[in-house]
Amino acid sequence: MMADRRSGRCIATTGWDAQEPMHASAGQIAPMRERGAVILGGEPFVEEWEIAALHRAHTSHQGACVRATWMWLDPAMVDHAIDTYRMATLPAMENLEGFCSASLFVNRVLGRAVSSVTYDTHEAMNRSRETAKKVRVDNARDANAQVLDVAEFDLVLAHLRVSETA
């Protein structure tokens, strides 16, 4: 779960082995989602993404934060964008101070992607901002992707257990 305490934007994620059990759980999850929306004072918005890439240098700790980047790409170019992320973006991000982990989620049908990069501290994320922007711009160009939004969050809960083979 990630939260931007200034804007109130909050993102909670769950991971599933396959779409079938995820869809089958919808009736059980809906009341929890609605309760969370009441507690947080917002409206739930649900999106489904494929975990296209995941790399952890190490697990996150208290005080970790996330920079998320949403992108549009041609649905026919999704595999190319994933390859670009794995071969160019991940190695560049891994060299940033305070890098903890990175992941790429895609929606192949809609041609959307979101990358999340976790940093050990806000200070490290702040110091990485310009270098990360250059990596983002260069790799978006190489992947034929258009950056739609970039946001920074506190990492509130980090209990998503996904195999690094994603």
Number of domains forming the structure of the chain: 1
Q: 71 forms bridges with which residues in the sheet?
A: 113, 147
- The CA distance from 165 to 150, in Å, is 26
Q: Is residue 38 part of a domain?
A: no
Q: Does residue 30 sit within a domain? A: no
Helix (H, G, I), strand (E, B) or coil at 55: strand
How far is it, in rounded angstroms, from Cα 70 to Cα 143?
13
> Under a CB-based contact definition with an 8 Å cutoff, are residues 110 and 92 in contact?
no
pTM above 0.85?
A: yes
The stretches of the chain forming alpha helices (DSSP H) are 19-24, 26-40, 78-84, 90-94, 122-142
User: What CATH number should be reported for the domain holding residue 79?
Assistant: 3.30.70.100
Structural domain contains residue 21:
no
- Residue pLDDT tens, the chain, 166 long: 899 989 889 898 888 888 898 889 888 988 988 888 888 888 888 899 999 999 988 888 889 999 999 999 999 999 999 999 999 999 999 999 999 999 999 999 999 999 999 999 999 999 999 999 999 999 999 999 999 999 999 999 876 565 554 4
Which residue segment(s) compose the domain that 150 sits in? 2-12+49-155
